[in-house]
């Protein structure tokens, strides 16, 4: 039951969380190196899920008012604050550890000329975007995923999904190359971003619609090129996402098929798309980006044993991480999925949706407060590692393409951490295998080039290069 005492504790805990968040944000203004800018910015992205919903409730936003004084809201804030402080402390420790830069030294550049690398990367990324659309059309991918493929996907689906992920990450490196080399996005890269936006619409997931323009934001920011038009493109992308994806999902339940591309076509041809105003989309975005409501409901259900199935599957995933990561489905036909968001949705609401209980609560369901601490430390380690990769290799993104593909994998905020670890382990092993094979084939230079450990934030190029 809501109580005044719990509400007082919530104000105290939320104040500490907000103060931490604001202080990190202010430190971003004084950042003078790429690493420090990256760490502050990525910290703000990772923990934005904790600072929105409660403020909306305090301002009288009806869907969230029930959070005020709720006992599990207090518990959630305690978990969130623990995660924020442990991550911040670990980031400070890791970023000052001289061994980490040496760990990343020695990655050789590719021998292939940049023009050929760009052309090849564009072709691969474009092909992967088309593959994503084809998979959505077949019910193998996205929100329109066919029921029979959830628990028993075809053997090739894991490989195809991995290719789609790699192609999406390639678009980030290509955009970063455009800004570091040309100061703007070139025409071919713009076309690629539009194709990936179309693939996101066909998938039925808002994040996949917004992701290409989020990459543009990050790349422009890293290259010191961020301007108002980048924010305008991003606002347009999430307005499009909320104007198309929500009606498309509603259409899903009345459609007698699992074809995401057909669902998108049916919706647009029946005039079912009505783009909301930017303010409405922003409000919906803020309400969606924060996982407080789902986290509190999950903690409440956990008290009564209503999510024991999810907890058991989550713990089994952690125990079987090596096998889930490296044993192919061909050898393990019944291999369970690492993402259990549908299981949580079924246990909380009785519907096969896609919900996550926030990183802190997911870690707590796995291992209590010890699990929160462990996952927070690992999160900090991955963020620092991604920042060091950018610091050392951002000056030639395509020549160090395999290393920079690790950056979005390491830093992408995935709330179900066990699923994130599967992706990270595969990325590490895949990168190591690539360099081992590439050395034998002579694709990379044999001579190791050591790069500076800390690079200053790049200044804006000369006025002759127009800002995009």
pLDDT in tens, 119-170: 999 999 999 999 999 999 988 888 887 777 776 778 788 888 889 999 999 9
Percentage of the chain surpassing pLDDT 90?
34
Instruction: State how far the Cα of 93 lies from the Cα of 76, in Å rounded to an integer.
Output: 26
Q: Look-up: residue for tokens 């952690």?
A: 318
Torsional class of 350: left (φ above 0), alpha (ψ -120 to 50), beta (otherwise): left
The predicted pLDDT at position 462 comes to: 43
**Token pair in block for residue 317:** 């995933």
CB 149 within 8 A of CB 364: no
Q: Is the pLDDT of residue 201 over 70?
A: yes
The predicted pLDDT at position 279 comes to: 65
The predicted pLDDT at position 412 comes to: 80
The predicted pLDDT at position 52 comes to: 77
The answer to which of 124-128, 216-220, 254-258, 280-284 has the lowest mean pLDDT is 280-284
Find how far residue 174's CA is from the centre of its chain. 18
Q: What is the mean pLDDT of the chain?
A: 83
The predicted pLDDT at position 185 comes to: 93
261 or 178: which carries more pLDDT confidence? 178
Reported confidence tier of residue 352, pLDDT bands at 50, 70, 90: low
The predicted pLDDT at position 461 comes to: 47
CA torsion sign for 32, 37, 107, 180 is: negative
Mean pLDDT comparison of 54-63, 105-114, 261-270, highest-scoring range: 105-114
The long-range contacts involving 298-301, CB below 8 angstroms and separated by at least 24 positions, are 298/344, 298/348, 298/357, 298/361, 298/365, 299/72, 299/75, 299/76, 299/357, 299/361, 299/364, 300/70, 300/72, 301/347, 301/348
219 or 347: which carries more pLDDT confidence? 219
State the burial class of residue 405 (Cβ atoms within 10 Å of its Cβ: 0-12, 13-18, 19+). Answer: buried
The predicted pLDDT at position 41 comes to: 92
The predicted pLDDT at position 67 comes to: 83
The predicted pLDDT at position 467 comes to: 39
Domain boundaries along the sequence of the chain: 4-97, 113-288
The predicted pLDDT at position 84 comes to: 95
The predicted pLDDT at position 385 comes to: 93
The predicted pLDDT at position 275 comes to: 65
The answer to which of 13-27, 171-185, 203-217, 246-260 has the lowest mean pLDDT is 246-260
352 or 246: which carries more pLDDT confidence? 246
Helices (H), 96-144: 99-104, 114-137
Stretch 249-276: mean pLDDT: 76
Q: Is the pLDDT of residue 287 over 70?
A: no
Stretch 435-442: mean pLDDT: 88
333 or 451: which carries more pLDDT confidence? 333
50 or 317: which carries more pLDDT confidence? 317
CB neighbours of residue 191 within 10 Å: 12
**Token pair in block for residue 370:** 């010890």
The answer to which of 267-271, 395-399, 456-460 has the lowest mean pLDDT is 456-460
Instruction: State how far the Cα of 372 lies from the Cα of 419, in Å rounded to an integer.
Output: 15
120 or 48: which carries more pLDDT confidence? 120
Q: What is the pTM of this model?
A: 0.86
Reported confidence tier of residue 252, pLDDT bands at 50, 70, 90: confident
The predicted pLDDT at position 66 comes to: 79
**Token pair in block for residue 392:** 């050392």
The answer to which of 147-151, 290-294, 361-365 has the lowest mean pLDDT is 147-151
CB 468 within 8 A of CB 226: no
Reported confidence tier of residue 452, pLDDT bands at 50, 70, 90: very low
The predicted pLDDT at position 464 comes to: 40
**Token pair in block for residue 463:** 């006025």
The predicted pLDDT at position 246 comes to: 78
Q: Which residues does residue 444 pair with via DSSP β-bridges, in sequence order?
A: 110
């Amino acid at each position: 039951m809501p109580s005044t005492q719990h509400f007082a504790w919530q104000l105290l805990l939320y104040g500490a969380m907000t103060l931490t968040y604001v202080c990190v944000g202010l430190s971003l203004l004084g950042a003078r190196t790429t690493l420090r800018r990256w760490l502050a910015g990525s910290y703000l992205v990772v923990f934005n899920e904790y600072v929105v919903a409660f403020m909306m409730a305090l301002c009288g936003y009806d869907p969230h008012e029930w959070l005020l004084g709720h006992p599990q809201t207090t518990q959630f804030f305690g978990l969130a604050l623990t995660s924020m402080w442990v991550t911040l402390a670990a980031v400070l420790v890791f970023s000052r550890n001289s061994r980490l830069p040496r760990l990343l030294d020695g990655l050789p550049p590719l021998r292939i000329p940049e023009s050929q690398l760009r052309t090849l990367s564009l072709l691969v990324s474009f092909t992967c975007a088309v593959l994503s659309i084809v998979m959505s059309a077949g019910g193998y991918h996205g929100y329109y995923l066919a029921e029979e493929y959830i628990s028993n996907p075809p053997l090739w689906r894991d490989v195809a999904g991995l290719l789609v992920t790699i192609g999406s990450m390639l678009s980030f490196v290509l955009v970063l190359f455009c800004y570091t080399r040309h100061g703007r996005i070139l025409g071919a890269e713009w076309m690629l971003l539009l194709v990936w936006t179309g693939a996101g619409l066909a998938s039925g997931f808002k994040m996949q619609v917004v992701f290409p323009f989020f990459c543009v934001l990050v790349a422009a920011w890293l290259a010191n090129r961020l301007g108002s038009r980048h924010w305008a493109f991003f606002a347009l992308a999430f307005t499009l996402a909320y104007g198309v994806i929500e009606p498309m999902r509603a259409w899903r339940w009345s459609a007698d098929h699992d074809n995401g591309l057909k669902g998108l076509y049916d919706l647009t041809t029946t005039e079912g798309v009505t783009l909301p105003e930017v303010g409405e989309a922003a409000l919906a975005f803020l309400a969606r980006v924060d996982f407080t409501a789902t986290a509190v409901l999950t903690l409440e259900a956990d008290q009564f044993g209503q999510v024991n199935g999810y907890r058991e599957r989550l713990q089994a995933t952690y125990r079987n991480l090596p096998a889930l990561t490296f044993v192919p489905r061909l050898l393990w036909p019944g291999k369970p999925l690492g993402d259990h968001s549908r299981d949580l949705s079924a246990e909380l609401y009785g519907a096969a949706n896609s919900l996550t209980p926030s990183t802190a609560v997911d870690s707590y369901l796995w291992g209590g407060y010890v699990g929160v601490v462990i996952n927070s430390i690992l999160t900090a380690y991955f963020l620092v590692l991604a920042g060091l990769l950018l610091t050392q290799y951002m000056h030639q993104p395509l020549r160090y393409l395999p290393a920079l593909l690790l950056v979005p994998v390491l830093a992408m905020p995935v709330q179900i951490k066990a699923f994130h670890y599967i992706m990270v382990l595969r990325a590490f092993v895949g990168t190591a295998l690539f360099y081992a094979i590439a050395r034998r084939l002579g694709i990379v230079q044999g001579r190791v080039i050591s790069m500076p450990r800390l690079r200053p934030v790049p200044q804006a190029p000369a006025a002759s290069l127009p800002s995009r």
